[in-house]
Amino acid sequence: MEKLHELIKYYPESKHFNESNRIIGEVNSDHLLSRDSGENKQEYIVRKGDSLRLIAQKNDTTVGYILHVNGRMGSKLQPGDQLILSPLNFSVIINLKAKTVSLRDPNDKLFKAYELVGSRLPQGCPSSLDTLAEGLVVGDGSRFIETGTTEYVNATKEIRCGRRGIPIRSLTGDDERDKYATGFFVSNQDLEELALLVRSGSPIYVRN
């Protein structure tokens, strides 16, 4: 993996650049999203009074990640339950020119790059800016939808940012609605994964 990281850092014009990016991303996400133990993963024993949201906040992770990695549906916990956790301290880099949404670790190493399938900025919004993720909105945001339920799985999602009007989202398939939607668009599959990995407070850097 180190050789691949060196290649994409020092030889961005290499014919192997895109393939190296893809391999790094697949290996990293497969490991992080599995229940296998490994670097940065830890076991957490549920205590009385714990909730998934509280555990996620205390351990710099997301509710969606906890449920996914531990194969759980719904939010019920019992004292003594064992959970696998991992801190999610990624920066999000949205590169409009390269058409990528990348996650980078605290050492500025690439974790994974996703394809940016489109973008539309609100009027007056600069094409280069720094902001923070404010959290995941499920459905239209008008009511609570419990994480892990069938309704949650099938609902539309978007990662809201501190700057209004530029969420990370997917196209809905409704031509009239998509025509006026603003933000950064990725595939449904990539959005589902990003929703697990991008937590509230994660820095987001948009570059042109």
Alpha-carbon gap, residue 170 to 158, rounded angstroms: 7
Q: What is the pLDDT of residue 13?
A: 66
Provide the pLDDT confidence category of residue 63 given band limits of 50, 70 and 90: very high
Alpha-carbon gap, residue 29 to 197, rounded angstroms: 10
Give the DSSP per-residue string, 2-65. HHHHHHHHH-TTSTTHHHHHHHHHHHHHHHHTSS---TT-EEEE--TT--HHHHHHHTT--HHH
- Which structural domain range is residue 25 located in? 2-32
In this structure, the answer to whether residues 125 and 46 fall within a common structural domain is no
Here the tokens at position 62 are 């997301």
CATH of the domain at 165: 2.40.440.10
In this structure, the answer to whether residues 24 and 99 fall within a common structural domain is no
In this structure, the answer to whether residues 162 and 182 fall within a common structural domain is yes
Residue 8 lies in a domain: yes
In this structure, the answer to whether residues 60 and 144 fall within a common structural domain is no
pTM over 0.85: yes
Here the tokens at position 131 are 């902001």
In this structure, the answer to whether residues 22 and 97 fall within a common structural domain is no
In this structure, the answer to whether residues 165 and 65 fall within a common structural domain is no
Q: Is the pLDDT of residue 39 over 80?
A: no
Q: Is the pLDDT of residue 140 over 90?
A: no
CATH of the domain at 72: 3.10.350.10
Residues 6+ apart with CB under 8 A from 12: none
Residue 37 lies in a domain: no
In this structure, the answer to whether residues 24 and 107 fall within a common structural domain is no
The domain tally of the chain equals: 3
Alpha-carbon gap, residue 157 to 159, rounded angstroms: 7
